[in-house]
Structure 1
Amino acid sequence: MRIFTAALATETNTFSPICVDRRAFEASLYAPPGEHPDTPTLCTAPITVGRRVCAEKGWDLIEGTATWADPAGLVNRSTYESLRDEVLTQLTAAMPVDAVVLGLHGAMVAAGYDDTEGDILTRVREIVGPDILVCAELDPHSHLTVKRFKAADVFVYFKEFPHTDFVDRAEDLWRITIDTLEGRVKPVMSVFDCRMIDVYPTSREPMRSFVDKIMGIEQSDPDILSISVIHGFMAGDVPEMGTKMLVVTNGKPDKGDAMARELGLELFSKRGTFIMPQIDETQAVTQAMSATAWPVVIADVWDNPGGGTAGDATVLLEELRARGAKDTAIGTIWDPMAVQICMAAGEGAEIPLRFGAKSAPGTGNPVDGTVKVVKLVANAEMRFGESFAPFGDAAHIVLDGIDIILNSTRAQSFDPSLFSVMGIDPTSKKILVIKSTNHFYASFSKIASEIIYCSAGTPYPNNPAKTAYRHAPKTIWPMIADPHGTERGAA
């Protein structure tokens, strides 16, 4: 067997002012054929798992380019087209192939392309023809469109949020690929539109039990090859935004349709109960400063670079300074210019510095003060599960007794190693401020005495009922109360 694999991924917050060009992909991950590292980077797990699988089977794995940009705003049109065509040219050169296994995100939007994944999958299908297996692993914070559904045979999405299972789901995708190529299964996808948009952390109920339930169905029912919840991405203003339920069966489309509908309506019945309760910055700092066990982690959930924001909000920092907080560390505030100034000053320097809150309204005010430059790290990285996440050249500064990490490559706070690589022992602090919605939970929960979810400022469009969408559907919850008519018994 000859199998082609590649990855092209980012998550697009169409409201973000941070545009994405080729440099953004190169800063996060750009690996030409054969140069992908041994460890996966979120959407590239099909490549690293595929290496092992194909070696064991004695199959030829033809690797194309793998590239990933950290979430931000619209992708530059020529950047998307050039990276897409790079992969498609590699696929054409690899022909004939028996399957195409891709790593995609599912929420990329480029100038002129609302549905980049649908575009690239359709072009892949045109190259390989109607009978070749085309499949992909995707992030659940994405959009499942009709175009991409028609172009592919199998989609498998991460189940967990935080996304701790991207390697496991790549294993699932390759299992289905092997069984299909060896004639044991004929995968068929069924989809149900839940007509809602919400946030679904699997670290708490009710989503924890729901994911456990669908994994139980996969294990107990031989007709079911995979079940995925496509959460949707509320910051992506595209026509098919929203939550979907996907069931892959072994040639049982009627059963898949019924199960997708049943599970989708069950999810819909719990709407509005999934997301973590949040408090504002005043309440969050009061609660953290009154704690008696440490460290307390304050998650600045809506200034999350993983959702496409800049990650430069200063609202929490301003509140902590006003309250005289000590034994506190903040990771991170994105400000490449301030990092350059610190790099030029050198470790140990005390300099006047303005930093933060440059990207957009609702992120607070730029901070001015005399800071001490404690530690400088070029090309800094933190752990994220089995992989590493770069956060670029970084500076550890101290202002008014608060340790602050400034970074030059936007990245959310995945792991306590973010602090330790910058010379800060996170377990020695009373308060840790991080920027992430929920990906941080798997690692920070191991050291935190308490986790506080804070809604500070308005860097992210987090209320779909009030968001000024231009393209997203207006006929889903919470834009309307009951799009299925379930409360009238009409479902």
Structure 2
Amino acid sequence: MSLRIGIAGIAIESSTFSPHRAALTDFDVRRGEELLLRYEFLEADWAENVEWVPLLHARSLPGGAVLPEVYDDLSAEIIDLIRSAGELDGLLFDIHGAMSVVGREDAEADLATRVRAELGPDVLMSASMDLHGNVSRELGTAVDLITCYRMAPHEDAIQSRERAARNLVERLQSGLGRPGKAWVQVPVLLPGEKTSTRIEPAASIYQRVAEIADESGVLDAAVWVGYAWADEPRCRAAVVVTGDARELIAERARELAQSYWQARSEFAFVAPTGTLHECVAAGLASSARPFLISDSGDNPTAGGAGDVSWTLGELLTVDELTSGTATAIHASITDPEAVAACVAAGVGNPVSVEAGGRVDPGPSGPVALSGTVFSLSEDPVGGTVAVIRVGGLHSILTSRRKPYHHLADFTLLGLDPAATDPVIVKIGYLEPELYKLAEDWLLALTPGGVDQDLLRLGHHGVLRPLFPFDPEMADPVLEPELLP
């Protein structure tokens, strides 16, 4: 049986508390054969006899809400490409689930509904999502199959996309048509740093997800923790179990929703936490090297603008660092103007800049930074990268937003985390390479667009009651709905 399956989607995680706005230049937009390179599993045995029809996929580093004209143009092109693609049997809908668009609500549901209208009712649509996405009733109704990652950090991202594609192919080949979908939202909204699958209770909940997905009569099972740094009614945990045994999938969706709700107070930060100064003091006193500190409030892989300079300003008040009796690395601040000043000064020469605070001023605005240009380099993600040394403190500045997740990100700048005292990185939970690298690790509760203290961000658009905003709320009725 020969199948024609299209591939399309827009993927970004958007903090509505960040003043950053995602422009077209923030997206890696792929069409045609370049799009297919994103999916190495398309050569697998199960994908034989499938003609994969690449339409458009746009992916961005997390950031602020997407400019409406950017969303409108990308979504319109997806619809036009579906219209001109010829007859399709299915569509792989590759999204994140936490895209916000300025002035809009529930962007993924809007896109999915428009795609569904163009595809018609008979073309099966399978959505692949991040577990930090949101699943509204409208999104769940528009798609036929839906799944998400089962690991945070997302070490199974490729496997999850493959599962979404494989489930679609197998469903089409079976001739069984669309499965049942048992959907239920859970009124809990927690940051990813409290719901990591490295620790309990998320570890056990997601183990159970995999067990349920393997049951006879069940096609797939998924639990979304939701996205904590957007302020929309859809933002909350959700469960979807798909399959043909309708009573069973409803029972399993109810079980997963109840287990998530019952564990709501057990979710804890994935590492010990403290103020920035508490964490830096602990790092300086510790003999563990590398000693990693997460500068969590402006994490660019969760939606932070990447240029909040408050942490840098505070580090400049630590005498051990500015005097050079101790060393530290801070990664990083996006500031193309400051980087240009470093390039003009040259390596080894003094430089004075106002760093950061141009997109998200945070509590400090730009910070005065005077030191020596330690190194200059070019990075495929971060653009031109400059390191300014002030005493023992090495401040990394980038011309474009960039996360620092790998040892090579530092060594290519002439920096050695293992030979440095605290290494402060704009990140939440540590990504795998840094996690393995760290001899010790603390999570600093710093300000920014992805502040871990949700209660001080000022949510007003989420549906209430909602935990932890309403800690004494009554137990909700968690009765799954069988979506059409």
- Fold similarity call, TM over 0.5: yes
CA distance in 2, matches of 1:145, 1:459: 23
Q: How far did residue 331 of structure 1 move?
A: 1.2
| One of 142, 146, 163 as aligned partner of 1:172 | 163
Deviations 1:123-175 (A, max 9, x none): 11111111111111111212211111111001111111111111011121122
Give the structure 1 partner of residue 106 of structure 2.
Answer: 115
CA distance in 2, matches of 1:261, 1:466: 32
Give the structure 1 partner of residue 237 of structure 2.
Answer: 243
Give the structure 1 partner of residue 212 of structure 2.
Answer: 217
Amino acid at match of 1:344: A
| One of 424, 437, 443 as aligned partner of 1:447 | 437
CA distance in 2, matches of 1:465, 1:368: 31
CA distance in 1, matches of 2:249, 2:382: 42
Is 2:14 the counterpart of 1:21? no
Amino acid at match of 1:201: S
Is 2:119 the counterpart of 1:128? yes
Give the structure 2 partner of residue 418 of structure 1.
Answer: 409
| One of 145, 163, 174 as aligned partner of 1:183 | 174
Native 8 Å contact 2:17 2:457 kept in 1: no
Give the structure 2 partner of residue 305 of structure 1.
Answer: 300
Give the structure 2 partner of residue 3 of structure 1.
Answer: 5
CA distance in 2, matches of 1:364, 1:202: 34
CA distance in 2, matches of 1:115, 1:459: 19
Deviations 1:357-407 (A, max 9, x none): 3334544353323322232223x14xxxxxxxx233221221222122111
Amino acid at match of 2:332: T
CA distance in 1, matches of 2:367, 2:56: 41
Give the structure 2 partner of residue 289 of structure 1.
Answer: 284
Give the structure 1 partner of residue 250 of structure 2.
Answer: 257
CA distance in 2, matches of 1:474, 1:392: 42
Native 8 Å contact 1:398 1:404 kept in 2: yes
Give the structure 2 partner of residue 161 of structure 1.
Answer: 152
Amino acid at match of 2:29: Y
Is 2:264 the counterpart of 1:271? yes
Give the structure 1 partner of residue 348 of structure 2.
Answer: 348
Q: Percent same amino acid at aligned positions? A: 24
Change (3 A) 1:34 1:55: farther
Q: 1:25-174 alignment to 2 at 5 Å?
A: 25=27, 29-36=28-35, 38=37, 40=38, 47-49=39-41, 51-53=42-44, 56-174=47-165
Is 2:275 the counterpart of 1:280? yes
Is 2:429 the counterpart of 1:427? no
Native 8 Å contact 2:128 2:160 kept in 1: yes
- Return the TM-score normalized by structure 2: 0.90
Amino acid at match of 2:413: M
Change (3 A) 1:168 1:55: closer
Q: 1:351-366 alignment to 2 at 5 Å?
A: 351-366=351-366
Native 8 Å contact 2:308 2:361 kept in 1: no
CA distance in 1, matches of 2:301, 2:282: 26
| One of 371, 393, 396 as aligned partner of 2:384 | 393
CA distance in 2, matches of 1:423, 1:9: 33
| One of 181, 187, 194 as aligned partner of 1:195 | 187
Deviations 1:170-214 (A, max 9, x none): 121122112101117553221121111113111222212221222
Change (3 A) 1:265 1:482: farther
CA distance in 2, matches of 1:424, 1:139: 33
CA distance in 2, matches of 1:485, 1:298: 37
Native 8 Å contact 1:5 1:62 kept in 2: yes
| One of 198, 201, 207 as aligned partner of 1:206 | 201
Native 8 Å contact 2:351 2:372 kept in 1: yes
| One of 469, 473, 479 as aligned partner of 2:469 | 479
Native 8 Å contact 2:209 2:223 kept in 1: no
CA distance in 1, matches of 2:370, 2:472: 54
CA distance in 2, matches of 1:255, 1:443: 39
CA distance in 2, matches of 1:111, 1:366: 26
Aligned-partner SS, 1:481? coil
Change (3 A) 1:262 1:233: same
Native 8 Å contact 1:5 1:64 kept in 2: yes
Amino acid at match of 1:333: I
CA distance in 1, matches of 2:61, 2:179: 32
Alignment coverage as a number of residue pairs: 464
Amino acid at match of 1:239: P
CA distance in 1, matches of 2:36, 2:122: 31
Aligned-partner SS, 1:285? helix
Native 8 Å contact 1:350 1:370 kept in 2: yes
Q: How far did residue 450 of structure 1 move?
A: 0.3
Native 8 Å contact 1:364 1:457 kept in 2: no
Native 8 Å contact 2:294 2:442 kept in 1: yes
CA distance in 2, matches of 1:456, 1:338: 23
Q: How far did residue 284 of structure 1 move?
A: 0.4
Change (3 A) 1:238 1:430: same
Runs of 5+ unmatched residues, structure 2: 478-484
